[in-house]
Amino acid sequence: MPSSVQVLRPHPRLQHSAAADAAWDDQAEREAQGLVALLFVAGGSLRRADLAAALRVSAGRVERACAFLRASPPHGLALHESDDEIQLTSAPDCGPLIERFLDIPRPEPLSLAALEVLSIIAYEQPVTRADVSHIRATDSSGVIETLLARGLITDDPRFGGRGRPSFLVTTAAFLRLLGLGSLTELPPRPIPK
C-alpha cells in the first residue's frame, strides 16, 4: 500500500456551507431556479408578491428560495433585496470586468450639495422641494433635478396630485448606490448641536 494516499474532494460547487445545507431541499432548489429565470427575463426588480404569484407558491416559499440563492448564488450573479423588491444583479466582484467590457466610465461623483439634498430626502421623506430648500436655506431645484435625472430620487405619486406639491422620496437605485437593503439600514440621523 502506497504511503501517500490521495484524498478525493468534491467539486467546489458541490461543497455547501451549513447555511446552504439548512436552506436546501429539492423544492427550494426548483423554486430558486424559477426565481432566477423570472428575474432574468424581467430585467429589473420584481415584487415578492408578484414572484409568489408567478411561481404559484406562498411568500414563505419565495423567502426560502431567496435563502437558497443567498447561500448558493448562481455564478457571477447576486440577489439584491430591498424592502419588498428582489433583483438579480451581477456579483460585486465582477464589476470591474463588466465596466471594462461595456467601456463604462466611472460615474461622476455627487457634489457636496447633491449629497446634502440626498441625505435630507433620505431622512425626511416624503418631503417637498420647498421643504428641502427651506432646510438648506438656499434654492435646491437644480440639485434636485440632477438627482432625479440620476434616478436616485423620484416624485412619490401617492402624495402629489392636482394643485398639491409633489413629494420626493429615494429610489431603489439610491439603496443600491449605498449598498443598503432598506432605509432602516441607514445610520442613525445626526442630531445637531
Consecutive H or E run containing 56: none
Q: What is the pLDDT of residues 76-130, one digit of tens each?
A: 998 888 878 899 988 888 888 888 888 877 778 889 999 999 999 999 888 999 9
Are residues 87 and 50 in contact, defined by beta-carbon separation less than 8 angstroms? no
Distance CA 187, CA 189 (A): 6
The pLDDT tens digits of the residues spanning 17-36 come to 555 555 457 788 889 999 99
| pLDDT reading at 146 higher than 70 | yes
Asked if residue 28 belongs to a domain, the reply is yes
126 prior amide bond cis, ω within 30? yes
Domains of the chain: total: 2
Residue ending a domain, among 42, 67, 99, is 99
Domain that holds residue 88: 12-99
Give the CATH number for residue 70: 1.10.10.10
Residue 31 and residue 68 share a domain: yes
What mean pLDDT comes out for the span 166-176?
88
> Does 94 map to a domain?
yes
Predicted TM-score (pTM) of this structure: 0.53
Are 95 and 123 members of one domain? Answer: no
